[in-house]
A and B are shown apart, each in its own frame.
Chain A
Amino acid sequence: MSVSEVFASARAESRAALIGYLPAGFPTVPGSKDYLRSMVESGCDLVEVGLPFSDPVMDGPTIQAAAEQALSAGFRVRDLFDVVSSVADTGGRAVVMTYWNPVLRYGVDAFARDLAAAGGLGIITPDLVPDEADDWMAASEAHGLDRIFLVAPSSTEERIDMTARASSGFLYATAVMGVTGARDVVSSAAPELVARVREHTSIPVGVGLGVRSGAQAAEIAGFADGVIVGSAFVSAVAEGDGAVRALAADLAKGVRSAAATV
């Protein structure tokens, strides 16, 4: 199943898709496989497998700490493909979220080739804008991967349009100006941004940054096609598998309870 099919099947059920993030190798490589499976089994339609990076400028303290923990435990880029492959083998759908330098270092085409071979569906690129993505455009075409670029409340109409044209699978809308991390309230900028995006494209729009509860998921599901949750899953890992499953279930219920308002 491709990323667009994930969104299409959620849409067929009149609901938003739930997208859960966890860094590969956190808390350990086998541990991340187990938790990602729990997330899939408990309601994540798609998982974002993070590639731990030494300098995560888009991440708040929770994900920074998780990346540091994975790296100090000896995480290697080749482990990422192993984790992705484990998600795909157990029936889940995975995209990778990564800062661009590890991909550059691995080789953009080689990275795309190995990710596709592992069963990954695409890459979310928080610090790569389409302006600098010529190599990635070519590699993603060659290996059949989706390109998930980001738009932000500060994006101009022109850039939203350009970014949507460069994207496939879905478009990642950052709900707030800021870094990753759970927040108490859904930003008022999010619905406005999604509305602006809709004027340029029919590609599905996922909203992330700051979502942690079923109630917030329901609110976002009222105006977006996908709800993206990261730091809250990372925090739940500290409380164990039960907490990860409970969070996924709560969020899965949330993305279904906004159906009436869509």
Chain B
Amino acid sequence: MGQFTPTPHDPDARGHFGPWGGRFVPEALIAAVDELAAEYDKARLDPEFVNEFKRLLKDFAGRPSLLTEAPKFAEHVGTRVFLKREDLNHTGSHKINNVLGQALLTKRMGKKRVIAETGAGQHGVATATACALLGLDCVVYMGEVDTERQALNVARMRLLGAEVIPVKSGSRTLKDAINEALRDWVTNVDETHYLLGTAAGPHPFPLLVRDFHRVIGIEAREQILEKAGRLPDAVVACVGGGSNAIGIFHGFIDDTDVRLVGVEPGGSGLDSGSHGATLTAGTPGSLHGAMSYVMQDEDGQITEAHSISAGLDYPGVGPEHSHLKDIGRAEYFPVTDDEAMQAFALLSRTEGIIPAIESSHALAGALKLGPELGPDGLLIVNLSGRGDKDMDTAVKYFGLADGGQA
């Protein structure tokens, strides 16, 4: 099956996955999302587009990404573990898959300007990279708090020619960056494409972002069959907005014996109220253009998410995850900041791979899941990104500058 082949898991024509998704956006944006949906419908069936996308993934992003067995880490998990190495992609995470696809769509639509939001900076860097490659103007909105947490990524984006605008409204994190990007889009929609970085937002974003990341799951399925001779018992991925998770899940979605496990940012613990575990602790609502689980108070005001990982610090989640949770095809649970950081250190030390703190949540999830699967079990963890960008956080967390040891 090809990466863009329509499947029974596609949303309806107006973007609904069961009761989730749809379009809760101002009328002023409907023409733009309609145009995007129509363009994607054509592009996904156009061999020229598909081949150009595949060529960029191979020759620019460096795909296919490896599937690496992690035997020493697995000793701590208690079951056999393979890592899907999205950290080895150009720009250091899975985000490049989606940005190359959407940047190509931008060119097809004849638009010259791209805007994007970013939390940790991974999506912003990837977007700035794709825009540099394809000759598009690029503006990235980033919460002011995140520009401080991820100063190096701000510098990367600027080096790549992007304009980075710190967002000072609201909680000054990812959700506010999305608000500001939507405001820009509604003002400049004629010449601008909003290159949304996760599988959320109004239709068709959850569909097309998922499809651009389906390559992760398609590769992983082939690789695990080759290396282990069988399908895994579980596929584990972190879920903020949920793009890397939905991408790898889809490779296995029809293999009903394969558990699909999403690991959410539990922050300081669910009881603390300081977390971003939207699927575990959220309630239905509309945020940023789609119906999904959201974190909100009893008045429907969106509450702030908290996570040590800027990339997971989001009070919403992609609508297809809400659907997969409801129908029981995927399961979701949180791990805390501390559990994620322990997993971050453990993988670094045992396997010589420094993971992103986002991906460390998936690793921590694997550590919890391992005992259930036992020594004969087999799981794949989506290592969605590399941890270089997180060294400041690690230095502070472990006191590494003072001779501390993780």
Chain A residues within 8 Å of B, Cβ to Cβ: 53-58, 60-61, 64, 68, 71, 76-77, 100-106, 126-129, 131-132, 149-156, 159, 163, 174, 177-179
Q: Are A155 and B30 in contact (CB under 8 A)?
A: yes
Q: Are A57 and B179 in contact (CB under 8 A)?
A: yes
A81 to B87, CA, bound (A): 52
Minimal Cβ-Cβ distance residue in B for A163: B27
Q: How large is the interface on B (under 10, 10 to 19, 20 to 34, 35 or more residues)?
A: 35 or more
A105 to B189, CA, bound (A): 30
Minimal Cβ-Cβ distance residue in A for B301: A54
Q: Is B31 at the interface (CB under 8 A from chain A)?
A: yes
A111 to B389, CA, bound (A): 46
Chain B residues near A104: list those with CB within 8 A: 284-286, 300
Q: Is B94 at the interface (CB under 8 A from chain A)?
A: no
A60 to B169, CA, bound (A): 11
Chain A residues near B189: list those with CB within 8 A: 154, 177
Q: Is B74 at the interface (CB under 8 A from chain A)?
A: no
Q: Are A178 and B186 in contact (CB under 8 A)?
A: yes
Question: Beta-carbon contacts of B282-308 to A below 8 Å, as 1s and 0s?
Answer: 011111110000101011111100000
Chain B residues near A64: list those with CB within 8 A: 169
Q: Are B301 and A128 in contact (CB under 8 A)?
A: no
Q: Are A100 and B24 in contact (CB under 8 A)?
A: yes
- Distance in angstroms from A43 CB to nearest chain B CB is 28
Beyond the given A55-B302, A150-B27, please list 18 additional residue pairs across the A-B interface where CB-CB is below 8 A. A54-B170, A55-B287, A57-B179, A71-B301, A101-B287, A103-B300, A104-B285, A104-B300, A131-B22, A132-B22, A132-B24, A151-B27, A154-B29, A154-B30, A174-B26, A174-B28, A177-B187, A179-B187
Q: Are B27 and A101 in contact (CB under 8 A)?
A: no
Minimal Cβ-Cβ distance residue in B for A174: B28
A77 to B188, CA, bound (A): 33
Q: Is B183 at the interface (CB under 8 A from chain A)?
A: yes
Indicate whether A105 sits within 8 Å of B27 (C-beta atoms), given known contacts A55-B175, A132-B22, A154-B32: no
Q: Are B26 and A127 in contact (CB under 8 A)?
A: yes
A57 to B283, CA, bound (A): 21
- Distance in angstroms from A25 CB to nearest chain B CB is 11
Chain B residues near A177: list those with CB within 8 A: 28, 186-190
